[in-house]
Amino acid sequence: MAEMAEGGGGGHGKGKKRAKKSSTRVDMTPMVDLAFLLLTFFVLTSTFSKPKMLPLAYPSKVDDKTDVKGPKMNNGITFLLSEDKIFYYQGEYYFKGHIAPDGSVTELKEADFGPGEKGVRKLLGKLNNYVLVKKQGLDEKLKRKEINDSIYLKKLDGLRVESEALKVLIKTDDKALCKNFIDLVDELKIAEIGVIAPVDITPGELQLMKEKLKK
Amino acid sequence: MTPMVDLAFLLVTFFMLAASFRASEPVTVNTPSSISDKFIPENVIMVTIDQDGRVFFNLSGAEARREMLTNMIGKYKMKLNDEQIEKFTFMSTFGCTMQELPSYIDTGADDRITFQTKGIQVDSTTTNELYDWISYAGTAALNSAKTGFEEAKLKGENPDAEDFKPKFILRVDSKTKYQKAEDVINVFRELNLNNLNFITSSELAPIN
């Protein structure tokens, strides 16, 4: 136990006279109780992981009157989201009456957020291989200090939107949850995808997804 | 016992300094997680959407909030007394229709969580209140960004204008229907605000 300094620096006669030695030990138990109470309070209330923000650029609204046809996507993938379900197809959307050059119509494939073969991460890793491999090259250059941080970031941004890089469209139905959407965007960011466009679903695609969901 | 007490106080001090307190929010939201590591800046316009799709609004900065409110009550031809305006400037997130606003302000901070409201009106045939909130908040936030930038310049710092620009942030619950978020996003897009941010809790990036 801590003890109070006795006599408190008084070497005077007066002090000596008064010195009837009573106990100078201070009971510290209440203070310690309080200290632990506060400790418990702060431990339980403090949150350490500060929220972060995930930037996402939406396509700007196009005036309905001007009939702007989007650029032809030859290196795109479209994800369709429903509640905890995720489907995708590659390339353009082909339907009866507008079939692909080889005569096929679009079929949806199912994916999931797991680490397995059907996982989105593996799929994107394969499809966006071009960017990921080049990014590794940049990483190594950065490590060897051949380029500095700002050049690295600039090159990375440029790389992500090259024509060989994968472009992604996200479409959701009325049951999709925000969690599904953010999870997908997160996977896209992990896969270094630069062009992410959340757009409206077309009735044809909605129909395709409904059929898939019934199975 | 002395070393133990020393340690206890050390820990108390640490947690006290490390803890950050937030004003009580009228709505609880469990955000999804992502690997993003971008911190939330000072100057923000935040729209919160809870699990049921109710919309709440927040703008940082007391001066900006006052400016936004004055414009809003001007547009909706409403009367608020000085006390209510003062109270509003120190309120954090709020969510109610313009009609409910006076009674919402008069409700105590702790009772707002039980305030019966459908949140801010997003879409209707005549008026879109969220549209007005965002557009007035945008101008107010830009003004406060300008003053912040000028002040930093006067202090002899070398400020980056990017740091002061208001950011538009969406805070959604994991279980919110995306369609509800889309309604709000469309309001932003109508105002030509296409660069949005989602609040997420952080998650470890995969090691490859």
A58: Cβ–Cβ under 8 A, 6 or more apart, which residues? Answer: A197, A198, B185, B188, B189, B194, B195, B196
| pLDDT tier, B25 (very low <50, low <70, confident <90, very high otherwise) | confident
Q: Which residues pair with B171 in a beta bridge?
A: B48
* Interface contact flag, A2 B177, Cβ < 8 Å: no
* Coil, helix or strand at residue A196: strand
Find the largest Cα–Cα distance for chain B.
71
* Interface contact flag, A51 B40, Cβ < 8 Å: yes
Distance from the B23 Cα atom to the nearest Cα atom in chain A, whole angstroms: 13
Residue A2 in this model has a pLDDT that exceeds 80? no
Which is more confident, A36 or A69? A36
Torsion of the alpha carbons at B20, B26, B27 and B32, rounded to the nearest 10: -30
Contact status of B51 with chain A (Cβ, < 8 Å): no
Which whole number is the average pLDDT over A18-46?
82
| Mutation target vs A (from B4, B11, B28, B36; most A CBs, 10 A cutoff) | B36
Distance from the A75 Cα atom to the nearest Cα atom in chain B, whole angstroms: 24
* Interface contact flag, B200 A176, Cβ < 8 Å: no
Distance from the B144 Cα atom to the nearest Cα atom in chain A, whole angstroms: 22
Place of tokens 């006076």: B102
Q: Is the dihedral of CA B12, B15, B20, B26 positive or negative?
A: negative
Q: pLDDT tens, B128-157? A: 888 889 999 999 999 988 888 888 888 888
Contact A109, A77 (CB under 8 A): no
d(CA A187, CA A168): 11
Length of chain B: 208
Which whole number is the average pLDDT over A159-171?
85
Distance from the B186 Cα atom to the nearest Cα atom in chain A, whole angstroms: 9
Nearest to A190 among B5, B181, B206 (CB): B206
Q: pLDDT tens, B185-201? A: 988 888 888 899 999 98
Contact B22, B192 (CB under 8 A): no
* Interface contact flag, B175 A53, Cβ < 8 Å: no
Residues of B in contact with A32 (CB under 8 A): 1, 5, 8
pLDDT-wise least confident of A130-134, A182-186, A188-192, B109-113? B109-113
Q: What percentage of residues in chain A have a pLDDT greater than 90?
A: 3
Nearest to B175 among A38, A43, A179 (CB): A179
Distance from the B175 Cα atom to the nearest Cα atom in chain A, whole angstroms: 6
Report pLDDT for A8: 45
The two tokens of residue A142 are 């950065």
Residue A10 in this model has a pLDDT that exceeds 60? no
* Interface contact flag, A81 B178, Cβ < 8 Å: yes
Q: pLDDT tens, A83-109? A: 888 888 887 777 767 677 776 777 788
Residue A69 in this model has a pLDDT that exceeds 60? no
* Interface contact flag, A35 B190, Cβ < 8 Å: no
Residues of A in contact with B19 (CB under 8 A): 42, 45-46
Report pLDDT for B29: 84
B176: Cβ–Cβ under 8 A, 6 or more apart, which residues? Answer: A177, A178, B49, B50, B51, B53
pLDDT-wise least confident of A130-134, A164-168, B109-113? B109-113
Indicate the pairing of strand B195-202 with strand B167-172. parallel
Looking at residue B113, what DSSP letter applies? G
Contact B92, B151 (CB under 8 A): no
Q: pLDDT tens, A171-190? A: 998 889 999 999 999 988 88
Q: What percentage of residues in chain A have a pLDDT greater than 70?
A: 81
Q: Which residues pair with B38 in a beta bridge?
A: A53
Torsion of the alpha carbons at A110, B31, B132 and A58, rounded to the nearest 10: -40
Q: Which residues pair with B44 in a beta bridge?
A: B167
- Give the residue from chain A lying closest to B44, CA to CA: A53
Which whole number is the average pLDDT over A72-87?
82
Give backbone dihedrals phi and psi of A85, rounded to 5 degrees, phi first.
-125, 145
The reply to whether ipTM tops 0.90 is no
Type of residue numbered B90: F
pLDDT-wise least confident of A47-56, A91-100, B57-66, B93-102? A91-100
Report pLDDT for B15: 85
pTM of the model: 0.79
Q: pLDDT tens, B44-92? A: 999 999 888 889 999 988 889 999 999 988 888 888 888 888 888 888 8
Indicate the pairing of strand A52-57 with strand A76-82. unpaired
| Mutation target vs B (from A31, A48, A178; most B CBs, 10 A cutoff) | A178
Which whole number is the average pLDDT over A184-202?
87
